[in-house]
Amino acid sequence: MFLNFGSHVGEKAGLPQSKLKFTTGHKHCPMCLAEDVNQIGVGYFRNSHQLPGVNACPTHASQLFCTAISDFSLDRSLILPRSHMNVIPAENASVKLSRFGASVVQQLQTRQRFPDYRRAYRIQLNKKGLLTKNGNVRMRRVIPALKAHWATLEKTYNHNQLEYPDQLLTFEFVGPLLRAKTHYPAHPIKHLLFAEWLFDGDANLFWDADEEEQLILPGFGVPTAGKSHTHRDDFFSKRETRRRSIRDYMEKHPFAIRKDIKAARNADFFWLYHNDRDWLEQQLPSPMPPQRPEKNWHALDEAVCEMIQERILQLSEPISVSELDILLGGHRWLTKFLGNLPKTQNLIKDQVAEGTLKKVGQPT
């Protein structure tokens, strides 16, 4: 949207299938519009006003008005807004959210790259003491803090009186937003609500995380600088211990295949698979191609002959070989694999000669 990828933003953010429904139109501030008309002679829609769920002007702290359009905001004949609407002051929390969103938009336009927001979140959570030593988020502290921070957020969305969904105001989305296993592209308003509180309104922290020292955060091995840690928390020591376990086993069992190593050193194998896969692949023996067990055609030939003889006794009229193959289970024994079953092949010829079975195309 701000980096010339506008046609894909709605899809990437999951907006079409999102349960959070806001006005599908373009928003504007009457005061901004009046200023534009005075300065350049025409009004226009601003990017910072179009953030879903944001309903206040960051410049004038007034409520935004919406020009409803069709086709999920892709109408080509968009009418410019009117400038004679009454100005309605916005609630403080809405203004705070709007100004943070506008700052994010400005940073995107200036930096021309998207931030690693997941890393930025974890860095700030760690600085605020909201991560455990294992890297888990202290949700019992995060959720109440968010609710208190946004306690005065108005529940109506500009003049259309559209309420914020309950799941947004209860902040139940924060858990899936932060956990690695449940993370998925989320609606922009969720990120704005969470990040404004976490960053104390400073959008620069989205990008400052990229410039910080690349330490592995709690839960990823390396402890935070300045805090004591145990050997168990040291990523590199843990990695070396598990590497040594794999090497020792392979030295004692030089002919072991991957399956044997995985079974004998299961925990070490999968820890390295997820955290040090390149090294693990270099150490493991080459994967063996799958080998199918050889089929005992002689025993199968005897069994098929017995099944054919039993089926023939039950027939009231001649059937084709293909139909008989289907009655036997559709294994294509009598079609594709008949050459491997000589006794069955002779039995088929005898039954065709006797008229019990018919050839393809032969009338009944």
Share of the chain above pLDDT 90, in %: 13
Q: Is residue 228 part of a domain?
A: no
> What does the pLDDT read at residue 182?
67
Share of the chain above pLDDT 70, in %: 75
Dump pLDDT digits (tens) for 62-100.
888 887 765 544 445 566 666 667 888 888 888 888 999
Q: Is residue 292 part of a domain?
A: no
> Residue 364 — very low, low, confident or very high, per pLDDT cuts 50/70/90?
very low
Given 111, 146, 176, the domain boundary residue is 111
> Residue 1 — very low, low, confident or very high, per pLDDT cuts 50/70/90?
very low
Q: Does 41 share its domain with 122?
A: no
Q: Is residue 249 part of a domain?
A: yes
Q: Is residue 1 part of a domain?
A: no
Dump pLDDT digits (tens) for 130-156.
988 888 889 999 999 998 888 876 554
> What does the pLDDT read at residue 162?
41
207 pLDDT higher than 70: yes
Please state, rounded to an integer, the average pLDDT across all residues of the chain. Answer: 78
Q: Does 13 share its domain with 46?
A: yes
Q: Does 175 share its domain with 152?
A: yes
Given 222, 255, 283, the domain boundary residue is 283
Contacts of 100 (CB under 8 A, 6+ apart): 192, 195, 196, 199, 201, 203
Q: Does 90 share its domain with 60?
A: yes
pTM for the whole structure: 0.53
Which among 169, 151, 156, 147 has a CA at the least distance from the CA of 22?
A: 156
Q: Does 139 share its domain with 201?
A: yes
Q: Does 104 share its domain with 122?
A: no
Q: Does 240 share its domain with 169?
A: no
Q: Is residue 364 part of a domain?
A: no
Dump pLDDT digits (tens) for 169-181.
788 888 888 876 6
Q: Does 73 share its domain with 148?
A: no
Q: Does 16 share its domain with 104?
A: yes
CA dist 165 and 126 (Å) reads 29
- Whether 176 contacts 184, CB under 8 Å: yes
Q: What is the DSSP string of 27-66?
A: EE-HHHHHHHHHHHSS----GGG-STT--B-TTT-BB-EE
Q: Is residue 160 part of a domain?
A: yes
Q: Does 10 share its domain with 97?
A: yes
Give residue 17's domain range. Answer: 6-111
Phi, psi of 303 (to 5 degrees): -65, -40
Q: What is the tally of structural domains in the chain? A: 4
59 pLDDT higher than 50: yes
Q: Does 94 share its domain with 136?
A: no
Q: Is residue 289 part of a domain?
A: no
CA dist 266 and 244 (Å) reads 14
Given 58, 82, 111, the domain boundary residue is 111
* SS3 (DSSP) at 150: coil
Q: Does 105 share its domain with 48?
A: yes
